[in-house]
A and B are shown apart, each in its own frame.
Chain A
């Protein structure tokens, strides 16, 4: 990834190879991703701007990305309505949320 891009966009990769590209600040809503991308941490992810999440599959990661965007938009707002989460994914999403610290 070239240096002009790496601070603005990062990509999240699911275990089955789906790749989601998000603005850096949006992805950092997740504590785990923020720590992965922290420039001082010197993880491979912080250099490449690419986080491979081995535990999360594409369908779940899509919902996670939706949530990250939703959360980032709702920052500093009061009375935010809940995001609609598909019921059948909830159990997997809880595991993902636990892992990603969101």
Chain B
């Protein structure tokens, strides 16, 4: 119908022949052109030799360019500098210019070049060295070549660290022999690089705690860093600086860590009622609640919290609370949390005698620490000691200015299991009572003792009354006779009525305090070189001796591994090497 087999007959034979001839012609011409081009290139390569006959305009242009470049080089600062260095005359200018031009035309990094010495082909890098003749060297030859003119290596730092760091460590009371543990070094390093850490994995809880301490000290705990600490199965969480965390972060803590038994958060200013309400809704069984400054939480909410935690609560520590926590709130604690074993209340401004009375009803209390600045009557405290004294393991009472000899007498009569005792900042307790406490006391030796600032305060009578007030000679001798064999930490700073004779007696050549590690005898003007050396002799385990305001220390030899803090204008010798003073006069 339309396309018939005959249609092929429309193609003319003439057209086919023409096409063929055209194609052959074209191919031939192309081949010819290529050949010519190749010849041209060969020719050009030949004429590129050092002394070319400038024939083509292209060649001339190239030469002109080169001359311009040389002229430019000759005017450059680099040129005059090199010339000056080599002290060349003007006749050598061209030579130098040539050399510099050659250097300039050297292959750039990434290109291939042939080594000037061994002729090997290599890839040029930024580190390729220039050989003696101005060419480049391969890596192997570079190494050999640079061996000669290598600069002196920077001075290697010896095994001593700088003085400032050292002093700062001594002020922290750390004079360590030998290296730090690998664990401690790595934890420090992790803390330094905390922003690069994606997750802690299965770090053991003590490591997590230590990391939290370091990071908190650096104030580095942000909501992002907090995430690293949130592990669903962990039972404890200690964050020592929550200042950068917000309400939603506290929610996140409680939502993620369901099996939490210890919640230890400091500076939690942004914690509000709804965080606790969430905790109550989830019925979390927190056993240890340690919070610093949750001052936005209302009294009503606290009461609900204690009602909810009830008998689970074993340890309660609260710091820095004002209006939100009052006597009524504490009543909720004493009513609901009968199993409380550990109680610490510091700087709670709105609690008073009523709370003190309530504390004495906590039947299982073993550790009590109170630091309340407000005026409190001494009787409730006596009641606490009378009720709970027999089971108390540690007792810390700071700034109870109204407490008197009766308190010490009660401790003597009731306490049987104390290992830590702190009574500080008081000017009523007499030395006689202190001595009486330790004489014939059926309590085993104390390990931690802090009687700092137990002294008479009277600006007009420096020596104090006839009958000594505070921890004075008799009390100190009695204390060391009772507890000397086990004591590890002793703070008698500012107990300035301890006489030289008493110190001599306590640190006599035949006395030994084998476990005493930390001793603070600051602000006692009777401490002199002799007493200090006696202390070193009697306390073989001593690591830290604090002597602020002991001006009679003039020239002492410090044993290895002991940090002495607070001397003024004294000559210190350690291991036969004179030491620089920490506090310069």
Contacts and interface: CB of A to CB of B under 8 A. Distances in A.
A81 B178 contact: no
A97 B178 contact: no
A80 B178 CA distance: 6
B188 interface: yes
B178 A74 contact: yes
Interface stretch (B197-205, B469-477, B490-498): B197-205
B160 interface: yes
A73 B445 CA distance: 39
Interface string B556-583: 0000110000000000000100000000
Contact of B179 (A83, A93, A100): A83
Interface in B141-194: 157, 159-161, 166, 175-183, 185-190, 192-193
Given A87-B196, A98-B204, A81 B161 contact: yes
Please tell me the size bucket of the interface on A: 20 to 34
Given A90-B186, A93-B186, A97-B186, A77 B161 contact: no
Contacts of A70: 179
Contacts of B196: 87
Interface residues of B, number: 33
A80 B177 CA distance: 8
Given A83-B185, A93-B182, A97-B183, A78 B177 contact: yes
Contacts of A78: 175-177, 560-561, 575
Nearest to B166: A79
Nearest to A86: B189
A54 interface: no
A97 B180 CA distance: 12
Contacts of A71: 178-179, 182
Contacts of B202: 95
Contact of B207 (A64, A82, A94, A102): A94
A91 B203 contact: yes
Contacts of A83: 179, 185
Q: Which applies to chain B's interface (DSSP): helix, strand, loop or mixed?
A: loop
A75 interface: yes
A98 B177 CA distance: 21
Contact of B190 (A64, A81, A94): A94
Contact of B185 (A75, A77, A82, A96): A82
Given A81-B157, A81-B160, A94 B176 contact: no
Contacts of A80: 159, 161, 176, 178-180
A74 B159 contact: yes
Which of A67, A75, A78, A102 has most chain B Cβ within 10 Å? A78
A94 B185 CA distance: 9
B166 A91 contact: no
Given A82-B185, A95-B203, A74 B179 contact: yes
A51 to B, nearest CB: 17
Contacts of B193: 87, 90
A74 B178 CA distance: 5
Interface of B: 157, 159-161, 166, 175-183, 185-190, 192-193, 196-197, 200-204, 207, 560-561, 575
Interface of A: 64, 67, 70-71, 74-83, 85, 87, 90-91, 93-98, 100, 102
9 contacts: A78-B177, A80-B179, A80-B180, A81-B160, A82-B188, A91-B186, A93-B186, A97-B182, A97-B183
Chain A to chain B: the 6 pairs with minimum beta-carbon distance, closest first: A74-B179, A97-B183, A97-B182, A102-B182, A71-B179, A90-B186
